[in-house]
Every structure is written in structure tokens, then in C-alpha cells.
Structure 1
């Protein structure tokens, strides 16, 4: 029976290009998961968009002498181009800068206010006497009171993950001019998180299927206790607070951005011509919603957003939050401010998408931080994609095409080793099915590649290129067997390597898209006409690693 799945992917700020941390942390695992479920025939949508209203956007606009809207428009288009080139298949990638999102966010606000979860509080807020304005949390930097990191922001410390308020910072300074801020009174709405703390903790303790790092972090956070959090702030860019007297204030972006998952689903529903279709994904208990993000966003998706959903009522809570750890670059923490990053548009201007998807899959930071290096990128491409998987496909299809009139040969009765290898495809399909369903992407692609290694060993043993002149039947049996393994791997590797697997799909003589065949083993029948074989991957010169590392160091 088909399942209904909602895939929600963390919203990148529309203030700069995407980097490999975004891809490894949220977007690639989400796309692998979505492609897998489409193959399974499940009803699934994957939504996200540009976070248009974050203060990083206004900071970028001020730096470049542009309006925030101009910044958002530029990066929204760049993001869409990157998704198309990398094969990240959103059903909708929107922005928070739409009328639909404003209406949905304001509806959430008013319902929480009506039900008593929001209350007015007069607070002492950072004000820069030099810039002569109230400072949003990200305009204030200083030392974290918990871990003593010197570059904590007024909303959060990236070093330790703690949520902060600007008064918590030690030696606070204005990000724009460096002036020490003063504090002036300002009335804001606060979300009464302690009011839902017990319900949250009870719910979280039931989520035993969550990753250990996510479950432990969330449980510890809740057990330490929650405090009221500011729901509005003094800024001119964002979703207006729909209350008289608060027209100049905006809904705090971390509350507003997570509402985007709901507003994006409603926007998608409208675009389908079915305005009520969103309810199937948000108000049906059988629907499972998955949230893909980096570990620095865990609290907002396992505490803040569920608390808002509980307060609002009648909407599904997250089923799973498979948050990834961080990706480092050449042994160092990725830093956009220091330009220590591999930028996605830059990568895509020189290399194919599947080699990157492969490396980030086999090296995915699911349970601990992992490192990207250009030397490892070249090695994995040459040794595993080209020499193992690509070589398997190329030598089998080339030998078949040349010696059997471009068609799949007819086998005789297969020997024990050939039949055992074909039977192994059933086990590989079942195991990768189980792993992908549970969001264990790193292990799933390893299982698939293990079958490719086994097929290569089988070919080395049967050596059809040698026996073709002495025992044509034996060669036919061997190549037929290998083609069935290749066909199976085309399916299980498709969520990871969609471009090369679709190319292989066509070389095997199939029409249409792989997703049309479903998650099953599709036998390539004897006599089926093959297309002329072409290499799936390109071997890279080893000097590429040195050149790219030098390029990275030059911009540091």
C-alpha cells in the first residue's frame, strides 16, 4: 500500500551562494530520499525555499548598496539553477517573500495569540547609538557565555549550538560599526515555550526511531528547561506583525521561516489546482513528514516548530528529523566569512554532478562530522566511479555490443555462480530498501557498491573477453548475468546517481525514465537492442586535486 510522505528541507538564507555544507547537510539526503520514495510509488512532495527575511539578507543588501528584494531575487534564481544542474528535485522551491507565506505566517501568529501562547513583554533591546537603530539579534556579535566562542551572534552560538538572547553576549558589539550597543525598552511578543515543555518532552521520548544525536540533543535541551522566546523584533524587512500598534515590527525569522514548510505545501497545492490538497500532508495521521537539516538547526525543528504546531493545533508533528552533522573542508571548519568553502556554482561550472553526489553520499556526515578534500574527490571518482562501477558497465556492454549484434545474448542454463550472483540482486534491493527507508544513505550506497565489486570479481573469473572465441555460449551466459546485475544497480543507485543511471537506462535499451519502472528488479530480456555504449564517468587528472586546493587557498 502506497504511503504519503512530506519531505521538508532547511531553507538557505538568500544572502550568498550555496556551498557543499548545504548539500551534504540537507539537500542531497533529502533528494536521495525523495527519489527513492518516487521509485517506490509513494505519494511524496519535497518542499523548501529561500529564507528571504533573515537579517543576513539585510546585511548583504547594505554591504552591496542594494535592496533586500534585489538580493533575494538574485540568489533565488541562482539556487534554482543549482538545483537543476545538481539534480535536486524539489516539487516546489519557493521563497518566504510571497503573499501566501505572509498570510500563513500571520494566521499562525494570530492563532497562537488567541490561544494564549503569545504575550506582550517589554524588554531591554540592543540599540546602536552610532547607527541610531535597534539591532536585530544577528546585528550583534560577542563572546558566547557558554563556550566562550568569540564570534557568537545575538540569536545563537554556532560553536556550541546554544540559543541566545543579545543580553547574554559578553563584550557585545554592533556588527556594522563595532560600537558597544546600549539597551532601550521595546515591547515585543514572546512565545511561552514553558507552557508546552512537558508535552514536548513526552512526545520526544516516544521518537525512538530518531537518530541518537538528534534525540539526545533534544531531550537534554528540554530537560534543562525552556524560557520564553521573542516572537517579534524591531526590523523593517519581513512579515509584518498583524496587531495594531506593532505595524513597524516583524515576526522573528526563526519562527517565521519554519512556517515556510506549511506555506510552501499550500502554495504547491494551489499550483496543482487543488487548493485543499495540502491537508493530506498536514492533517492526515497516516502521512509521515521528514525534516532534513544540519545539526545547528535541530532545536528549531524538534522544539520550536513542534511547539508552534502543538499550540496551533490540528497539524501533523514531525515524524523524523534526520539531521546531519557538519562537513569540514580540507580538515578545517567550513567558514563562509573566511571564504573557506567549496561553492556549488563554482563546482558545477567545471565538473559533472554525479561524482559530487557520490562522494557526499559515501562520506555523508550522518552521525559525525566528515571532511571533503579535493584529493579524496579525485580518488573516489577515478577508483570507484570510473574503475569499479563505470568499468563494469563499459566492459560488459561494449563486449556484448560488439559480439552479439548489439543485443542482449540468450543464455543457456546458468551455472551455480551465475545464478547466485543474480540471486544476490534480490538481497541488495531488499537491504538498500530497508536502509533508504530508515535514512541510512551512507550504508545504502555501500551495499550497492559491494554488489558492483562482486560483479567485477565474477567477470574476472569468467573472463568472457577470453572465452568468446572458444566457448560462445559460456561468454553469453557470463555477459547476460552481468547485464542483469548492471540493471539492478541502475535502480538502486538511481537515487544517488540520477544522471549516469538514466544514461545507463537508455544504453540498456529501455525507454522513458527510471522512475517509471518502480523500485523493482527489471530483467533485461534476451534480444533487447542496446544503444552504443558510452563511458558513464570521466577520469580526472590527479593534478586537479592540487589545482583546486590552490584555488581554495587563494581565496582564503
Structure 2
């Protein structure tokens, strides 16, 4: 990082042919925003640019479907996408669009630079042509029957029912999407970029020079290079796009994947007169955030274009994410199988940070991951509300109750080992989070922030200031002990505000308000400090940071998602929709949780326990209160298994217990752990226990 004077961050340009969904957020916009907010907090010179990709076949196809012009399409969806990203607090310095005049000129100038150097190869080929519409047809304009699955509405490049990659020649009974006419072959001239000429340079630059890139990025690049590169056409026959700036190029436009990445350059030009500092000076760090489907364009084609041009810096890193599936199935906009950002904002007002949290905690950083509404609810209720929010709320409530609403003094003379440990944890958290963000490991970085709040809860539970307060009259140092606990907890809260800001900016703002401090506290240099809040400073009353999300809200979202499949119905494609509906009717199978590293698992303390007593919890049909012998102590654990087991039938059974969970009150009973259960396809619970009897307290590994 010290080798660079400035950083330029880009996030992939979304096609302005529809709204953005949560897969877009998880793929590139959220990780880019986290990285940018962190770098801003570090006071580094950084620009964050993006915009809408408004050219190409997807735009014209959407215009055909909606019966409007391509310009009306991009105007409509650019505004919707821009608003959705703003509402999710994606903090672009500029969010531009490729229909802007500055972009057209920048792209044409780039093309002419390569053309004047004689780098393009002019080539005449035969392509499909619609005689009735009098236009050449891109592959997506050709529709026919899929030879693999029989879908009568497969495109010339892909069947969206079975996912097969196709070419127009493979379609059965091909027809034009414009006029329904049978397409014919016709000669046309285009300009090709000789990508094969840059193969040796790309191998040296990527394979030898960027081994630090993420495995998925490095591996995909190596695969492309190992298979050999071919020339690629950089122009298309179309009336929609950036006109090719040559006298003999009537009816030709620049290939969308030629002009789209140049959009990063033109957006920077719009943003600042010093744009060349960010694009042409070697001490700039250029980082592209993208999804895995864009790797080849950002790591091979665009760098080769930049190298050919000669005036621009090359990307330092391209931290691409994998795909985010929805409820076990891949996102499909044609089937309406998606969670749309604009609809989420309407359905969960004020919960933008919750979605940011869930998408980061479950980010597809190393492999495809799955978003489920149940996981969304569990992460909000069990992690954000019950761990992070609970710690902050308890700290403020007790500070007002036991310290007069002011930051108490830290009494050095009675600091004990527990105090020293949590102070060390606070200081260590900064270094951990910082290192992980710099490595683009945002999921792990977020875990460290939440884990610090978890440690805060444990520390407060061990110090029990509410119990100590009962002995104020008899114990001379009781108030000092309370002061120390709450002073440390308040400083920890201030540190959490700094650390959580890149991830959950709205939550950080709420915490600043509660502490009556300004944005200056969010400077990264403040993290790890135990002097963020001044002794004697009066703080505001606590606000609930995260509300609980109810079962009914989740049920409504699942019903909405599955019901959305009906909206995708096309009378000419009923088989596809019927298949989708059948899939939606299948019983839900819980998918594996997101991938964790060994260190995550090692934090869980699993112990064998023996149930000593079991009794029903009053006014709670599902809960049993269990006394469990762990060998070193007897624990009270409240478990939701009353509908599956009679209390008298489970006494004496051995169980596996998660022994290091933060205590939690359920129906007024403090539960100190969790027993592990397995659920079969019929919903019946089964004990997870050792095959042979072992001593209570034995570890499970």
C-alpha cells in the first residue's frame, strides 16, 4: 500500500435493462464500498467510480419487450439502479452512464488510437441477417428450439432453461426476434483486436506477476491463457451504440465490451479535472471489483487494450466474487427468481444495513453461496440484534442506570486480568480487521468486528455490574468496579463504531448520535484507542440498533419469491414456467452453511454432556429446561425440543453441547449453551450423541 499515492476503485457497470438484485450487491458493489469506506477512513487519496452500461443487445431486447425505444429503456433503468445503489449506501464518487457525450468521445478516441497504430485487423465474415427488418442480427436476436432440452425460445448464444451455451447454427427452426423471419447469412466487415499478440505479455503479467490474486481469478485467467487467445471483433452491426469513428463504417458501433470498461475512464474524466493522475501515473493503485462472469474482460481483454494504447495504468488487483444463489437456485431474471434491491428497500425500510450485513457475512468470496430468507432472519436476530445490538444497548442502559448517564472514570488501581484481556482484544481487533480488508477478505473482517462485540458481552456478563451495584453500601470498591466495567464497555462501543463503519455505515451514524460525537471519530487511526470517549461526558439514551424480524415477514418474502415465478410466464414457453413452478413446490432442503476456515471452527467449544433433569418451561410449548452435567460444572440450557421429546424420556441421555455460546435469556431463564440436534426429512429431531458412553465434559473434535 505504501508504494501508491492514490487508489482508483471501479465496480462493474450494470446493464441498464432492468433493476439490480442482491446478487449484484454481493458480487461487486458491497465489497467495493466496504473497501472504499475503509480507505477513506485511512485518509488515503481514493476515488470510487461506476455507472450504467447502456449499450449492447440486452438493452435493445428489453426495448422490444417493453415496446419503447432503447433510450427510454436506459433512462428508466439508469435512474432506478442509481437510486437503489444510493439507498443501499454504495458511496460512489460518481455514478455515470455510457450514453454521456464524454464517454462516446473517450471511447472513439481510444478506438482511433489503436486504429492509427495499425493494431486492428479488418475482416469480412458472413453473419446472420434479417431481410425483413433489414439488419444484421446479434446472437441474442436469433431465437429457436434448443437442441438439448427442446425449449422453443432459446437464444442464439444460450438456452436460459437448461443453461446450455449455443450458437445460432445449433438452433432448430431459427427465427429473428425482430420480425420472426428466417435469418440468412450475409457478408459484413468488422475490426478485430488481435488478442493473440498479447498472449506472451499477459502470461508474464498475470501468471508470473500476480500470483497474489484470488484463486478463482488467477485460475480462470490461467485457463484462458493455456487454451490460447484468439482475435476478437471490436465492432458490431447495430443502430444502438457508439458509432465507429471511420468513414467506411456506416451502421457499425463499438462492441459493448470494448466501450464498457472505457466507461471507468470517462466517468473519472467527469469526476475530476485531475483524472489523468488516477489513470496515467504509475503510483496509482487500480482495483476492479467484479463478478466472476466478468473476469476475462477485466483481466485479459481490457488490460490488453490498455497495454496497446500505452498511456494507462494496469489493474493492481481484480478481487472477483463468485455467484450468490437464491434459496438454493441460481438467480434468473427471466424467471423472476431474484430479490430485487428496490423492492427490498420498500419491504424493509430502515433495514439497509441488515442486508449489507447478511450479504457480507455470507459473501461468495471463494465459491458460490446461497441466500435464504431464513438465514437472513437468523443473522439479524441472532447476530446483529442479540450480539452486537444487545451489547451496545446493555452498555448504554447500565451507564445511565449506574453511572448517571456519564462516561465513568477508569480506576487504574483496581484493573484486573479480565479488564486487561478485553483491552488487549480491542487493540488487536483493529489490526485483524485492517489486515483482512487489505487482503479483500471482507467476510472474515466482519466476523472479527462481531466477535469483538461477542467478547464485550462475555466480559460484561462476567463482571456483572448490576449484581455489584447491590453491594454498594458494603463493598468499598464496588462503584469503582462498576465504573471500570462500563468505562471499558463504552470505549469498546466507540471502537465498534469505527470498525463497523465500512460495513454498516447507517449503524455507525446512529452510534455516533448516541455518543454525541462527530464523524471525525470514524477515522481509522482512532480504532484501538481507549480514549475515544472523555470521562464525565454525558451520552444520549440508547436507541435500538436492530429490530427483530418476524416469521411472518420471512414467510411473505418466500411466498413473494415463489409467486414471482408466475409473473415470468410466457404463453409460448409454458413448459419452462411449469418446470419452475414444480421446482418451487419441492420440499425445502437446508443447504450447507457458508464455507468457514478451520480457525472459525476451532473457536467452537463442543463438549459431551449428560442430561440430569428435564422439565417443561411454563407457557412455552416448545421449550424444555435442561440441567446438563459437563463434568466440570452443571449447566442450565433451554432447548426448543419439547414437541419432540417427553422430559422423562431424555433424562440420562448424552448430548453434544456448544459450551462457549454467550448466555441468553429465554422466558426469563438464562440459557448457557446449546445442544446439537439433527432434523430428518420429516422434520423429526434426533439427538447427536456419541455411539459409546464417554465421560461428561469430554471434548468433541
CA 1:371/1:266 → structure 2, altered by over 3 Å: closer, same or farther?
same
1:163-202 equivalences under 5 Å are 169-171=170-172, 173-176=175-178, 180-202=182-204
Decide which of 314, 320, 326 is 1:323's aligned counterpart.
320
Distance (Å, rounded) in 2 between the aligned partners of 1:268 and 1:143: 47
Shift of 1:120: 1.2
| 1:431 counterpart residue number | 432
| Structure 1: distance between partners of 2:137 and 2:433 | 50
Cα 1:20–1:257 change in 2 (3 A) is same
Shift of the 144–316 alpha-carbon distance from structure 1 to 2, 3 Å rule, reads: farther
Alpha-carbon distance, 1:155 to partner: 6.2
How far residue 209 of structure 1 moved from its aligned partner, in angstroms, is 1.3
Cα deviation, residue 180, structure 1:
4.8
Matches within 5 A, 1:97-496: 97-140=99-142, 169-171=170-172, 173-176=175-178, 180-205=182-207, 206-269=209-272, 275=273, 277-351=274-348, 352-413=351-412, 414-470=415-471, 471-496=478-503
Question: Which deviates further from its counterpart, 408-417 or 230-239?
Answer: 408-417
Partner residue of 1:546? 555
Change (3 A) 1:331 1:177: farther
State how far apart, in whole Å, the 2-side matches of 1:212 and 1:147 are. Answer: 33
Give the 3 Å change call, closer, same or farther, for CA 167–67 of structure 1 in structure 2.
closer
Task: Show CA shifts across 1:480-529 (max 9, x none).
Answer: 11112111111111111110111112212212355456563342221122
1:133 Cα offset (Å): 2.2
Q: 1:530 to 1:201 in 2, by over 3 A?
A: same
TM-fit CA distance, 1:128: 2.8
2:535 to 526, 540, 553: 526
- Contact 2:42–2:525 (CA under 8 A) maintained in structure 1: yes
**Residue aligning to 1:272:** none
* TM-score (normalizing by structure 1): 0.93
SS at match of 1:15: coil
Q: Gaps (5+ residues) in structure 2? A: 472-477, 566-701
Q: 1:438 to 1:74 in 2, by over 3 A?
A: same
Greater displacement, 418-427 / 20-29: 418-427
Q: Which range is displaced more, 31-40 or 180-189?
A: 180-189
Cα distance 1:259–1:441, how it changes in 2: closer, same or farther (>3 A)? same
Compute the displacement of 1:175 (Å): 4.1
Q: CA deviation at 1:383?
A: 0.4
The alignment covers a number of residue pairs equal to 549
Is contact 1:378-1:544 (8 Å) kept? no
8 A contact 2:491–2:533 mirrored in 1 = yes
**Structure 1 residues 35-74: aligned runs within 5 Å:** 35-74=37-76
Provide the TM-score with structure 2 as the length reference.
Answer: 0.75
Q: Please report how far the alpha carbon of residue 140 of structure 1 lies from its aligned counterpart in structure 2 after TM superposition.
A: 3.3
Deviation of 1:54 after TM superposition, in Å, equals 2.2
TM superposition shift of 1:311: 0.7
Aligned counterpart, 2:672:
none
Task: Return the offset for 1:3.
Answer: 4.0
Q: Hey, what's the Cα distance between the residues in 1 that align with 2:493 and 2:379?
A: 20
Question: Which ranges of 4 or more aligned residues in structure 1 deviate by more than 6 Å?
Answer: 142-152, 155-164
Name the structure 2 match of 1:76: 78
State the secondary structure of the residue aligned to 2:253.
strand
Q: SS of the counterpart of 1:189?
A: strand
Distance 1:306 1:38, change over 3 A: same
C-alpha separation in 1, matches of 2:72 and 2:346: 24
Q: Does 1:512 align with 2:519?
A: yes
Change (3 A) 1:289 1:152: farther
Cα-to-partner distance string for 1:202-235 (whole Å, 9 max, x where unaligned): 1111111100110010111012111111111111
Task: Give the distance between the partners of 2:517 and 2:484, measured in 1 at CA.
Answer: 21
> C-alpha displacement at 1:156, in angstroms?
7.5
Conserved in 1, the CA contact under 8 Å of 2:142 and 2:168? Answer: no
Following superposition, the deviation at residue 131 of structure 1 comes to: 4.0
Matches of 1:158 and 1:283 in 2, distance apart?
Answer: 41
Larger Rg: 2
CA contact 2:432–2:445 (8 Å) conserved in 1: yes
C-alpha distance in structure 2 between counterparts of 1:300 and 1:170, whole Å: 27
Contact 1:409–1:480 under 8 Å retained in 2:
yes
Q: 1:9 to 1:159 in 2, by over 3 A?
A: farther
Alignment RMSD, CA only? 2.5
